[in-house]
Every structure is written in structure tokens, then in C-alpha cells.
Amino acid sequence: MAKIETVDANLYYGDFHALKNISMKMEENTVTALIGPSGCGKSTYLRLFNRMNDLIDSTQISGQILVDSEDIYSKNINVDELRMKVGMVFQKPNPFPKSIFENVAYGLRVNGEKNKTYITDKVYESLRQAALWDEVSDKMNKSAFELSGGQQQRLCIARALAISPSVILMDEPASALDPISTAKIEELIHELKKQYTIVIVTHNMQQASRVSDFTGFFYLGELVEHGATAKIFTQPNNKQTENYITGRFG
Amino acid sequence: MTLERRKELERSKKRSEKIAFGTFRAMSLLVVGILFVILGFIIIKGISVISWDFITKMPEDGMTKGGIYPAIIGTFCLIGGSMIFSFPIGVLSGIYINEYASNGLVVRFIRLMTNNLAGIPSIVFGLFGMSLFVNTLGFGDSIIAGSLTLGLMTLPIVIRTTEEALKSVDNSFRQGSYALGATKLQTIRRVTLPIAYPNIITGLILSIGRVSGETAPILFTVAAYFLPKLPHSIFDQVMALPYHLYVLATSGTNIEESRPMAYGTALVLIMIVLFLNLIANALRKYFSKKVKMN
Amino acid sequence: MAKPFHKKLFEKIIEGILTLSGSITSLAVILIVIFLFKEGLGLFNQSPIAKGFVLVVNKNNPVNTLDAKSIKNIFDHEITNWKKVGGERDTIILFYLDDINSIYTEEQIGQNLENLPTLFSNLTDSISGIIAFIPKTYINSDFKGKVITTDNIKVSKFLSGKEWFPTAEPAAQVGILPLILGTLWVSIGAILLSLPLGLAVSIYLAEIAHPRVRNTFKPIIELLAGIPSVVYGFFGLVVIVPLIQSVFNLPVGETALAGSIILAIMALPTIITIAEDSIRTTPRSMKEASLALGASRWQTIYKIVIPYSISGITAAAILGIGRAIGETMAVLMVTGNAASIPHSFLEPVRTIPATIAAELGESSQGGMHYQALFILGSILFVITLIVNLTVEYISSKQKLAKR
């Protein structure tokens, strides 16, 4: 049973047809990379899974989007609960103007967790999982803005992990980072795969090939090709995919 | 956390969001409601007073009858006088800040001073105008003293709107002009200003609105309590609408009987302000369309 | 191809004019400072005794100096014995210039009042407890009484004095404490009313309302800012004042509360505009991150958006207070203008700007009253300067933090 599945997903921004009949499946404990040139719809597609597109007025969605076989756009779905299950890491590190500890604890607090020891344990655990613990264990109460860009992004990952999601969406998580920080994030993705289902949007072909098990290539709102990463990067079926991967356009 | 507790928490989250958003919406409606109450009240009370005679006749019978003609004329004199002073200087100043001043520190200082000037209470302008224009320069209570005081007060508005207008002109226009060998001055005159001037005009209209309503700065520099004749020179005193309203409302010879006159005056004042606001908005819309077309 | 000389000159001249215009606001601020203080500072070299008059006592009276407060109390019959002011036990006998007619006949005074100096001299000599308030011109070199000296008005007394009675005779009382407190009461009341309301509206407009609603509300709020203060004052006078009078069952409705309500309405546009602008600077990504963690929109607003824009909100509040402190006409019309220290919001109060507006017309140029009003103006100026600099500081810090 697929962890995430879309059947004929369409999305319109007003008159603009941003996603066209996308059908795709993602299995549990795998990493799926979404690639394609800017404006191809890959980020929009990613944001379907935690209903982030709801925030934009005049979006219309059709088709089925299933997480754990549940249609997440049906009436009886609680969006806040969905977002606890489907965590997200953004393009640029975006810590809150709070302490390191409070950043990670935020998701627990807004979801009503009051037990102090549970919160503390969970925060520490998440920081360890995000491979940040060693660097911040002695400055829990310092502002998150004092961290470097790479550390901030790992903090954002820890923040997403703290509410125990089963899916993690990553929207170009390393695009604003230096190579060393990027390597750390990629290493982290490998680790996290054991427990989570990960969908990652990236511009970086090497990154996609390094971290993902499956790859989907988007172009002009369509899913052009989708399959095992090894296959897509070595012998794509589609000419457009090949051109993009080999850097002949985009 | 149990499922029961989860559901309960979600419900309480929803509930507090509903309460908060409902409260905010209600408070916003209240604020808008206040405006309509004030406007509605003055319009309903004042509309029956307004007639052709009301705006073209002198006040009569201890200001309980007749019209407010001299106050209207006086206010127009002050608008004209203050604009002659503040508009050119303000625009030039805005041009200097945005186009000429290259030193960041100088610009910051000038901006700080402009903000300070804008924040000074109007009564302090009144004191200053009285001390400098009325007494030291010997203008006496006169249109010129009042206009200069009001002009000084509106300077920051003109400067700021000019600056904003110039800032919104894309740099590519300037570079295009320089590339053709135009000097800085030519560029400003033929390229930058023509693009920016609609917004500058909006600033001018807004400052006119301010001038027409201010009372405190003219109390001791120009405004006459009762003067049923028109001014002959810029060294004459005049009546002015806002001060006239104050007099009618608080210190007329017969406050109860002059109340209708007060409602009428308030309505005329508000109509002037509303009218200017409408024009400013309309201009802004009209010109923003025109610029987009280019 | 070189440009002709006269063209270069022309450009230089224009540049000079522009530079001059650029400095106009700085010049204006400096001029305002100079003129306010020039007119006002003379106050502290003034004696509180009315110009051209003196106070005289019997030459055996050990009292040499009296302060303005004691003089007022003596002439108000609140102090009736010299012992109270450091003299010997003796009843104080007040003597005004007009009293002379009831003691002496017109013949004795003389047709051209030529005998007055002698009569005053004798009078002060013969009555031991006398204190007389008479014109200086009647004091001759052979005057047998003693002229009382008074201290000049002191800054500390000016700031802490509890009585504002600048036209009082023989000694003017220029204590501005009641005016300062009146201003504070009205302004604080105004900000307590308008801050929650203004914040709610700005949050609603920036975060909750549909863009269409926002686009209708914004111009309406701008319009609120455009209404002249005298119209607000008039509205307050004919609607709010009677309302307060009947709701609280008061003898008069002109109270601090009326002033606060009107000022609150007037401060709303300032607060809303600045707070909304600041709230809208919260990065979208930060709000999305919060929502992605399962926070509701409301939780995102109060846990992320408000803390993030707190400095802008503070600036809005400070500017709102600044507006309220400086507002003149509306307050003048609705607060009742009683220059006494307020004890509740339901009492009449008098603010600094209202005092200037109401009294400058009656004061004579260069006189003590006139100077005192200019000092009040200077105080207002300094307050607004502090307000502006604080806001400037806050917003520059905010810009730094957001870089």
C-alpha cells in the first residue's frame, strides 16, 4: 500500500492550470525526488500533501490526493492534524524568532502538549535525529538566529521531526546552503529514510541522484516521467527528461 | 495522547480561533462604524442648514444667522498662501533628497529632521508662527503669517510624497536618459519628474486637506473671531472655517442658537476634506492605469 | 563636445537651490527651537509679582522674603498670622490700592494723587501687621516701610507646582503639574482605548480579512485620519459629552474620559496604518512553517506574527501616544479645562496644548504668562522629539534585525 498517492490531480491558480492530471505513488520509507525546471509545478505538487496551497486564494483542486489511503481533501479531514502527520522543510531556513529549544518545541506546544518532561525529551531526541545536538546542546536558550545557515536548516528539520510525522516534505532544502552544509543535509536524509517517507523537490541533479530512490520529472505542470532514480538518470524513456538531466535545457 | 484528548484539543483550537477572529472582525466593523456615525451625524444635522445663502452670505445676528462666506474665502486664501510656499520648496527638497544627496548620513539626517518636523504638534507651530512671523517679522495677524505657519507644517507631507514618488520611478529610466548624454538636471526635468508628478500631485492634494482643517496653527497667526468682510491684502486678517466652527461651537455669543450654523460649517469642512480625498484617490487610480499602459 | 559655460553655471545654481531646499526642514526645526526658548526662557528671571507692583510691610516686621505660594495664601486669607510665614505673632492685615479710598478722603489724597506716596508710607509705618500690594511708582526714597522681596520663578517649582493660576494677583501661580498630569491622564486613557482596538483592526486587515475587505476598509480608515480635529472636537462636544454626562450622572460631561474617547478615535488611523505595515512584513515562509507544524491560523498570529512585528507595533503605540499628547483643538473642546490635579477620568482636566490654545490670546507679549505658555510649548516640543527619536531608534533596530 502506497504511503502517498495522487490520482489525476489537477490544480488551478485562477485561470492558470498549474498541475495537469498527475498520478503518482510513493511507498513508505523511500525518498522520492521531484525535479524539473523552475515553474514546472514540482513545488506546487509537493504542497498538495500538507494542503499548503490552501493558503493561496483562488486555488482549485480536483482529483484524489491520498495519504495513508485517506483523501486529504475530503470534508472530514482536519488540516492541522494532517500537517502533524506530514511535516515540511522549506527552501530557505526559516526558524522562528525564538530560542533554539522553543523552535523545536513549537509544534508540540501548539498542538496542546503540556507535559514538560515529554517536551524536553522530544526536543532533545529530534535535535539528535537532525544531527544538530552536538552543536547546540549547550545553547538551548540562545536565539535560533545565532546559528549558521546550515545549522538553521537542520534546526528546521528537527522542528519538523518533533511532532512525529510519518512523511517529510522538503522543498529544495539545501538550495540556500554551502556545499558542506548540503552534504550534511543529504547524509541526514539517508538516515531519516529509515523511519520516514520523504519527498524532496530539488534543482540539483546530483543531489536527486544521490539521495533519492525514485524520481519524478515535471515539465509545464505535467509529470513527464516517473520511476526508479537509477533508471531515470541512466536511461530515461523520454527525450525531454534526458535533455533536462544532461543539462541541455532548463 | 489519546484520540479523545486529541479531538478535544483540536476542538478547543478551532474554538479559540473562531472567538479571536470574530472579535477582530467585530472590532474592525466598530472602527468603520465610528466613521459612519460621525459622518452620518454631521451630514444629517448639517444638510438642512446648507443653502446657497449659507455659503455666500456674511454671518449675521451674532453669528446665529446668515452664512459663512468670509470663512470659506479665508480658508481658500490660507490654502493658496501655504501652498505657494510649501509646494515648490517641498518638491525641491524631495528632489534633493532622492536625486542629489549622495551621502547616506546626510539623507538620514534630513529624513530624521523631516520626521521630527512632521511630529511637532500643531499648537507648537502656532506658537512659533506667532513668535517669528507675527511678532519678530512684524506681519501681525495676517494671511501671510498664517500661510507661512501652515506651509511650514505641511512641508513634511509634500517632501515625503515627492520622495516616495521619485523613488518609485524605475532607475532604468534615469540610466536610459544618461546614456543619451543628458545631464542630471535634464534627466530630472524631462524624465523623472514627468513620471513622478501624478504622485506628487496626490501629495499636494493631501496637504491641502490638512491645511483646510487645521485650527491650532492659525489661532494666533491669522484667524479672526468675527470679521464680516473680505481681505484686501496679504496683511489682513481673515476668518477661517475650522476656527469658525470652534467659535460657533464653544464661544459664540449665543451657543444654542448658533448650533445649526456650527453643523453647517462642520459639514462644509467635511465635504471639502472628503472631496479632496476622493480626488486624490481618483488621480492615483487614473495615473496608475496610465503608467501601466506604457 | 564641452557644454557651454552658462549651462554649467545654471546647473550649479539649480543644485545650490536644491541643496538649500533640502536643508529647509532642519532649518525649520532649529528655528522652532530657538524661537520657543527665546520667548520662554525669560520666565525664570521673572518675579511672580505682577509687573510694576510691589509688596510692602511694616519696617519692624522680621519677614523679608515671601514665596509665591505664601503670598497667594496670605491674600486668599488662608494664612492670617505672620507667625505662619516666619514672623512674629501678629494678625496679617491686607491692603490693596483701592482700600485707600475708604481710609482717606479725596482731599487728603490730592487731586493728582500727589499725596499717595506719603500716605502709603505713613500707613505701613503705623500698622504693624500690614502687607500692602501697591504700584512701584508710589514708593519714594523716604518710604518708611519695607519692600518684600520674592524669589524668581524656579524651574523645580514650575515643574512641581500644583497650581496653575498665571493671572493671579498679587503673585501669579505657575505650577504645571496639573497640566502635565491632565495631559498624561487623557493620553493614557486614549491609548488604553485605541491600542487594543487599533491592534485588532491591523491584525484583521493584515492577516484575516479577504483582500477585497481590506481594500474597502483601508480608504475608510485613511478618511478617518483626514477629518479635521475641530470636527472631532465638535462631534465630541455635541454627542459624547452629553452621553457621558447622562450615563455617569455627572454635573458636567466635559471630562478626561470624553477627551480620551475622542483622542482614541483620532489616534486609531496612525496606530492601524503603522501596525498593519509592520505585521505585513512578517515573512510568508515563517507563517507557513508554523502552519506546516499543525498550528492554527490564530496560533500562528499570536505566537509568530505578533512577536515578529512587536517592534513595529511598539512604534505604532508610541506614535499614537505622541499624537494624543500634542492634540489641541479636540481636547480643548471636550475636557472642561479645569486646571486642577485629576483624581478620576470623570473629572474635567486641562492639557498642555489646550492651555496654550486657550490662554495665549489673553496674555500680553513678553509677560510672564506669555513666557510660561512658550515654556509649555517647549515642553511639548521636547516630548514629541523624544517620541520621534524613540520610534526612529526602534525602526532602525528592526531594519537591522531583519537584514
Break chain C into its structural domains and give their ranges.
Answer: 53-152, 177-402
Residue of A96, A119, A146 for testing the chain C interface, max C β-carbons within 10 Å: A96
Question: Closest partner residue to C200 among B13, B17, B23, by Cβ?
Answer: B23
Nearest residue to C11 via CA among B185, A158, B75, B59: B185
Task: Let me know if C114 is exposed, middle or buried by CB neighbors in 10 A (0-12, 13-18, 19+).
Answer: exposed
Q: What tens digit of pLDDT does each residue of C300-317 get?
A: 999 999 999 998 899 999
A55 min Cα distance to partner chain C (Å): 9
Do the chains contact at C292 and A160, CB–CB below 8 Å?
yes
Q: Which of residues 326-385 of C touch A (CB under 8 A)?
A: none
Cβ-based contacts of B130 with chain C (< 8 Å): 360
Which residue shows C-alpha cell 526536543?
A123
Instruction: Note the pLDDT of residue C153.
Output: 82
Nearest residue to B37 via CA among A245, A77, C227: C227
Q: What tens digit of pLDDT does each residue of B137-158 get?
A: 999 899 999 999 999 999 999 9
Confidence of residue B293 (pLDDT cuts 50, 70, 90): very low
Which residue shows C-alpha cell 473642546?
C333
ipTM rounded to 2 decimals:
0.91
Instruction: Note the pLDDT of residue A81.
Output: 85
Which residues lie closer than 8 Å to A36 by C-beta, 6 or more apart? A42, A217, A218, A219, A224, A244, A250
Instruction: Note the pLDDT of residue C403.
Output: 43
Residue A87 lies in a domain: yes
Residue A107 lies in a domain: yes
Do the chains contact at B13 and A112, CB–CB below 8 Å?
yes
Q: Where are the beta strands (DSSP E) in C41-168?
A: 53-57, 93-96, 130-135, 146-147, 164-165
Instruction: Note the pLDDT of residue B101.
Output: 82
Alpha helices per DSSP H over C23-143:
24-40, 68-75, 100-103, 106-109, 116-126
Residue A250 lies in a domain: no
Do the chains contact at C235 and B42, CB–CB below 8 Å?
yes
- CA atoms of C24 and B93, how far apart (whole Å): 7
**Contact (Cβ atoms closer than 8 angstroms) between residue C351 and residue C331:** yes
- Mean pLDDT for B63-92 is 90
Break chain B into its structural domains and give their ranges.
Answer: 3-49, 52-293
Question: Closest partner residue to C28 among B31, B152, B220, by Cβ?
Answer: B152
What fold does the segment set C53-152 form as a domain?
Answer: D-Maltodextrin-Binding Protein; domain 2 (3.40.190)
Cβ-based contacts of A81 with chain B (< 8 Å): 6, 10
Q: How far apart are the first and last CA of chain B?
A: 61
Give the count of beta carbons closer than 10 Å to the beta carbon of residue A207. 22
C357 min Cα distance to partner chain B (Å): 7
pLDDT at C169 over 90: no
Instruction: Note the pLDDT of residue A250.
Output: 46
Q: What tens digit of pLDDT does each residue of C36-63 get?
A: 998 888 888 888 887 778 888 888 888 8
A142 min Cα distance to partner chain C (Å): 15
Show the low-confidence residues of chain A (pLDDT under 50): 250
This prediction's pTM: 0.86
Question: Closest partner residue to C294 among A57, A91, A110, by Cβ?
Answer: A110
Does the CB of A81 have a partner CB in chain C at under 8 Å? yes
Domain C177-402: homologous superfamily in CATH = MetI-like (1.10.3720.10)
- Mean pLDDT for C359-374 is 88
Which residues pair with residue C49 across a beta bridge?
Answer: C171
Task: Return the C-alpha cell found at B230.
Answer: 473680505
C394 min Cα distance to partner chain A (Å): 17
Neighbours of chain A (3+ CB pairs under 8 A): B, C
DSSP SS3 for A177: coil
Backbone dihedral angles phi then psi of residue A87, each to the nearest 5 degrees: -80, 165
What strands, in cross-sheet order, belong to the sheet with C93-96? C93-96, C130-135, C53-57, C146-147
Question: Closest partner residue to C294 among A84, A92, A98, by Cβ?
Answer: A84
Instruction: Note the pLDDT of residue C204.
Output: 95
Number of domains in chain A: 1
- CA atoms of B247 and B251, how far apart (whole Å): 5
- CA atoms of A242 and A233, how far apart (whole Å): 8
Q: Which residues form the domain of A72?
A: 2-245
Neighbours of chain C (3+ CB pairs under 8 A): A, B
For A145, the closest chain C residue by CA position comes to: C401
Does the CB of A156 have a partner CB in chain C at under 8 Å? yes
Which residues lie closer than 8 Å to B279 by C-beta, 6 or more apart? B205
Please provide the DSSP assignment of chain B as one string: --HHHHHHHHHHHHHHHHHHHHHHHHHHHHHHHHHHHHHHHHHHHHHTT--HHHHHS-EETTTTEE--HHHHHHHHHHHHHHHHHHHHHHHHHHHIIIII---HHHHHHHHHHHHHHHHS-HHHHHHHHIIIIIIIS---SSHHHHHHHHHHHHHHHHHHHHHHHHHTS-HHHHHHHHHTT--HHHHIIIIIHHHHHHHHHHHHHHHHHHHHH--GGGTTTTB-SS--S---STTS-B--HHHHHHIIIIISSSHHHHHHHHHHHHHHHHHHHHHHHHHHHHHHHHHHHHHHH-
For A82, the closest chain C residue by CA position comes to: C294
Q: Would residue A31 be called left, alpha or beta, if left means φ above 0 and alpha means ψ between -120 and 50 degrees?
A: beta
Q: How far apart are the first and last CA of chain C?
A: 45
Instruction: Note the pLDDT of residue C402.
Output: 52
DSSP SS3 for C173: strand
pLDDT at B108 over 90: no
- Mean pLDDT for C332-352 is 89
Instruction: Note the pLDDT of residue A198.
Output: 94
**Contact (Cβ atoms closer than 8 angstroms) between residue B135 and residue B162:** no
- CA atoms of C327 and C75, how far apart (whole Å): 36
- Mean pLDDT for C337-342 is 84
Does the CB of C283 have a partner CB in chain A at under 8 Å? yes
Confidence of residue B270 (pLDDT cuts 50, 70, 90): very high
Whether domain B52-293 has CATH 1.10.3720.10: the reply is yes
Question: Closest partner residue to A97 among C285, C292, C307, by Cβ?
Answer: C307
Task: Return the C-alpha cell found at A29.
Answer: 520509507
**Contact (Cβ atoms closer than 8 angstroms) between residue C349 and residue C184:** no
Which residue shows C-alpha cell 546552503?
A177
B140 min Cα distance to partner chain C (Å): 12
Do the chains contact at B184 and C11, CB–CB below 8 Å?
yes
Residue A111 lies in a domain: yes
Do the chains contact at B135 and C365, CB–CB below 8 Å?
yes
Confidence of residue B294 (pLDDT cuts 50, 70, 90): very low
Residue of B9, B14, B15, B18 for testing the chain A interface, max A β-carbons within 10 Å: B9
C-alpha A199 chain-centroid distance = 5
A1 min Cα distance to partner chain C (Å): 25
- CA atoms of C231 and C30, how far apart (whole Å): 32
Helix then strand then coil, % of chain C, to nearest 5: 65, 5, 25
Question: Closest partner residue to C353 among B93, B123, B259, by Cβ?
Answer: B123
Question: Closest partner residue to C293 among A57, A98, A106, by Cβ?
Answer: A106
What strands, in cross-sheet order, belong to the sheet with A16-26? A16-26, A4-13, A59-67, A70-71
- Give C258 or C169, the one with higher predicted confidence: C258
Which residue shows C-alpha cell 466613521?
B35
Q: What is the CATH number of the domain that holds A81?
A: 3.40.50.300
In total, the C-beta contacts within 8 angstroms joining chain B to chain C are 256
